[in-house]
Structure 1
Amino acid sequence: MDLNVDVLDVSRSREFFASHASVQKEGTKYMTLADFCQAVTPSAEAKEVQKDGCNVLFRVADRQGRGMLTVDDFIHFEAMLSRPDAEFEIAFRLFDEDADGIITLDQFKHIISSSQTASEAVPFDFNSDWLTLFVGKNGKKDISYEEFAQLVKGFQAERLKQEFKYFDPKGTGTINPDAFKKIMLHVAKHKLNPFVVENLPSIVQLYPGDNISFANVRACYNVIRQMDMVERIARKAATRTQDHALSKADFQAAAAQMMRFNVLTPMEVDILFHLASRDFDSQTSRLPIGAFERLFDPSWSKAKGISYDSPTLTATTADVTELTNQVVSLSAAMEALKGIYNFTLGAIAGAVGATVVYPIDLVKTRMQNQRSKIVGQLLYKNSWDCFKKVVKNEGVLGLYSGLLPQLVGVAPEKAIKLTVNDFVRSRIKDRKTGYIPVWGEILAGCAAGGSQVLFTNPLEIVKIRLQVQGEAAKTALNSAPKHTAIHIVRQLGLLGLYRGVGACLLRDIPFSGIYFPTYAHLKKNLFNEGKDGKKLNALELLTAGAIAGMPAAYLVTPADVIKTRLQVAARKGETTYTGINDAFVKILREEGPRAFFKGGLARVLRSSPQFGVTLACYEFLHRVLPVDFGETPSFTPIAQPNVGMVAPDVGRRNALRVLNDLSPDLVGMVKR
Structure 2
Amino acid sequence: MDKNLYLSSLFGGGMAGMAVDMSLFPLDTLKTRLQAPQGFRQAGAFRGIYKGIGPQIIGSAPQAALFFCTYEAVKNFASPLVHTSALPVVYMVGASLGEIVACLVRVPMEVVKQRRQVSHHSVVQITLAAYRNEGFMGLYRGFGSTVIREIPFSFIQLPILEYLKQVYSRKLNNSEVLNSLQVANCGAVAGGIAAAVTTPLDVVKTRIMLAERNQGTALKYADVWMSVYQSKGFNGFFAGIVPRVMWITIGGYIFFGMYDYSKAFCQTTLLANPSSSSN
Q: Shared fold by TM > 0.5?
A: yes
Between the aligned partners of 1:434 and 1:530, the Cα distance in structure 2 is 21
Contact 2:31-2:240 within 8 A present in 1 as well: yes
Question: Is residue 2:224 matched to residue 1:562?
Answer: no
1:601–1:527 CA distance, 2 compared to 1 (3 A): farther
How far 1:431 sits from its partner (Å)? 4.8
Structure exhibiting the larger radius of gyration computed from Cα positions: 1
Between the aligned partners of 1:431 and 1:567, the Cα distance in structure 2 is 40
Tell me the equivalent position of 1:524. Answer: 166
Q: Give CA-to-partner distance per residue, 1:439-480, whole Å, 9 cap, x none.
A: 2222222222222211121111111011111xxxxxxxxxxx
Contact 1:543-1:612 within 8 A present in 2 as well: yes
Question: Is residue 2:156 matched to residue 1:489?
Answer: no
How far 1:341 sits from its partner (Å)? 4.4
Contact 2:10-2:68 within 8 A present in 1 as well: no
Matches within 5 A, 1:483-632: 483-493=121-131, 494-528=136-170, 531-569=173-211, 576-625=217-266, 626=268, 627-628=270-271
Ranges in structure 2 where 5+ consecutive residues have no aligned partner: 275-279
Q: Which one of 101, 106, 110 corresponds to residue 456 of structure 1?
A: 106
How far 1:339 sits from its partner (Å)? 4.3
SS at match of 1:596: helix
Between the aligned partners of 1:539 and 1:351, the Cα distance in structure 2 is 18
Matches within 5 A, 1:171-320: none
Between the aligned partners of 2:82 and 2:40, the Cα distance in structure 1 is 59
Between the aligned partners of 1:533 and 1:466, the Cα distance in structure 2 is 48
Tell me the equivalent position of 2:17. Answer: 350
Between the aligned partners of 1:436 and 1:563, the Cα distance in structure 2 is 31
Between the aligned partners of 2:169 and 2:147, the Cα distance in structure 1 is 31
Question: Is residue 2:113 matched to residue 1:467?
Answer: no
> What percentage of residue pairs aligned between the two structures are identical?
26
1:379–1:338 CA distance, 2 compared to 1 (3 A): same
Contact 1:538-1:616 within 8 A present in 2 as well: yes
How many residue pairs match? The answer is 267
Contact 2:11-2:262 within 8 A present in 1 as well: no
Matches within 5 A, 1:20-169: none
Between the aligned partners of 2:247 and 2:195, the Cα distance in structure 1 is 9
Q: Which one of 401, 413, 417 corresponds to residue 51 of structure 2?
A: 401
Q: Which has the higher helix share?
A: 2
1:378–1:512 CA distance, 2 compared to 1 (3 A): closer
Q: Give CA-to-partner distance per residue, 1:76-111, whole Å, 9 cap, x none.
A: xxxxxxxxxxxxxxxxxxxxxxxxxxxxxxxxxxxx
Q: Which one of 26, 29, 54 corresponds to residue 362 of structure 1?
A: 29
Tell me the equivalent position of 1:261. Answer: none
Ranges in structure 1 where 5+ consecutive residues have no aligned partner: 1-327, 372-376, 381-385, 470-481, 631-672
SS at match of 1:533: coil
Between the aligned partners of 1:378 and 1:416, the Cα distance in structure 2 is 33
Tell me the equivalent position of 1:421. Answer: 71
Between the aligned partners of 2:226 and 2:220, the Cα distance in structure 1 is 10
Equivalent position amino acid for 1:614 in 2 = F
Between the aligned partners of 1:408 and 1:511, the Cα distance in structure 2 is 23
Between the aligned partners of 1:404 and 1:529, the Cα distance in structure 2 is 43
- 1 or 2 for the larger relative contact order (CA 8 Å, sep ≥6)? 2
1:569–1:512 CA distance, 2 compared to 1 (3 A): same
Between the aligned partners of 1:338 and 1:518, the Cα distance in structure 2 is 22
How far 1:531 sits from its partner (Å)? 4.5
1:339–1:540 CA distance, 2 compared to 1 (3 A): closer
1:582–1:358 CA distance, 2 compared to 1 (3 A): same
SS at match of 1:428: helix
Q: Which one of 404, 412, 421 corresponds to residue 62 of structure 2?
A: 412
1:432–1:465 CA distance, 2 compared to 1 (3 A): closer
How far 1:360 sits from its partner (Å)? 0.7
Between the aligned partners of 2:176 and 2:108, the Cα distance in structure 1 is 41
1:542–1:338 CA distance, 2 compared to 1 (3 A): closer
Q: Give the superposed CA RMSD.
A: 2.9
How far 1:437 sits from its partner (Å)? 2.7
Contact 1:538-1:620 within 8 A present in 2 as well: yes
Q: Give CA-to-partner distance per residue, 1:625-664, whole Å, 9 cap, x none.
A: 422287xxxxxxxxxxxxxxxxxxxxxxxxxxxxxxxxxx
Using the size of structure 2 for normalisation, the TM-score is 0.84
How far 1:618 sits from its partner (Å)? 1.2
Equivalent position amino acid for 1:568 in 2 = L
Between the aligned partners of 1:401 and 1:419, the Cα distance in structure 2 is 30
How far 1:536 sits from its partner (Å)? 2.6
